[in-house]
Amino acid sequence: MSSVYVVGIDPGPVPGIVGLQFVNRVLLDVDILQCSHHLAPVLLSTLLRGGGGEDLTLVQVENFVVSRRSSRSSTPKAGQQTRELIGSLQQTCQGFLIPVGLQTASRVKTWASDERLETAGLLEATKGMRHAKDAARHALFCAVAEANQPDPLSKEWRTA
């Protein structure tokens, strides 16, 4: 029996955190959180500590890229909080000896469409929580690209 736990995180002033647990390549459980930036490292630590039995645990965080669009949509303080949060999340994972993958939003959103999220049962589960929805995109992308789990649009995809 192989068990994989993948956590996707959308950092920022209101971070989203989504954990996906796969057993034998079947999605068994989903953890969905949206919180303040102060709580995110504590909640991530709780999720990682709660796992323990997985053969593989991966964490992927949206890489914060300063661009014309990000400067329009957030304040300098929000950008600073996001960068600090990414550092705190990396430190949290380092304490568990788990590497943190950074991935751009543009790459993940291109692949992790609403259709994929819906098939995986994540679209309805994150309704009204846009940051958790983006975290779900990162978790699903990482599960398929890095942990060799099935694509929700493939014939192999199954949920419990």
pLDDT at 69 over 90: no
The answer to whether 47 and 31 have CB atoms below 8 angstroms apart is yes
Q: Return d(Cα 116, Cα 108) in angstroms, integer.
A: 12
pTM of the model: 0.92
Place of tokens 């291109």: 110
Confidence tier at 77 by pLDDT (50, 70, 90): confident
DSSP annotation string for 4-21: EEEEEEE-SSS-EEEEEE
- Average pLDDT over the chain reads 92
DSSP bridge partners of 30: 20
pLDDT at 74 over 70: no
The answer to whether 72 and 113 have CB atoms below 8 angstroms apart is no
Least confident of 38-52, 73-87, 91-105: 73-87
pLDDT at 73 over 90: no
Phi–psi pair at 157, nearest 5 degrees: -65, 135
Q: Return d(Cα 83, Cα 77) in angstroms, integer.
A: 10
Instruction: Name the residue with higher pLDDT: 136 or 79.
Output: 136
The structural domains of the chain, ordered by start, are 3-145 (3.30.420.10)
Q: Return d(Cα 54, Cα 58) in angstroms, integer.
A: 10
Phi-psi region for residue 24, left (φ > 0), alpha (ψ -120 to 50) or beta?
left
Least confident of 27-31, 54-58, 69-73, 127-131: 69-73
pLDDT at 149 over 80: yes
Size of the chain in residues: 160
The answer to whether 117 and 137 have CB atoms below 8 angstroms apart is yes
Rounded alpha-carbon distances, angstroms, from residue 82 to 10, 46, 66, 72, 145: 9, 20, 11, 15, 25
pLDDT in tens, 94-118: 999 998 999 999 999 999 999 999 9
**Would you state the pLDDT for residue 68?**
53
**Would you state the pLDDT for residue 137?**
98
Angle (CA) 40 15 140, round 5°: 100
**Would you state the pLDDT for residue 66?**
60
**pLDDT > 70 fraction of the chain, expressed in percent and rounded:** 93
- What is the pLDDT averaged over residues 19-47? 96
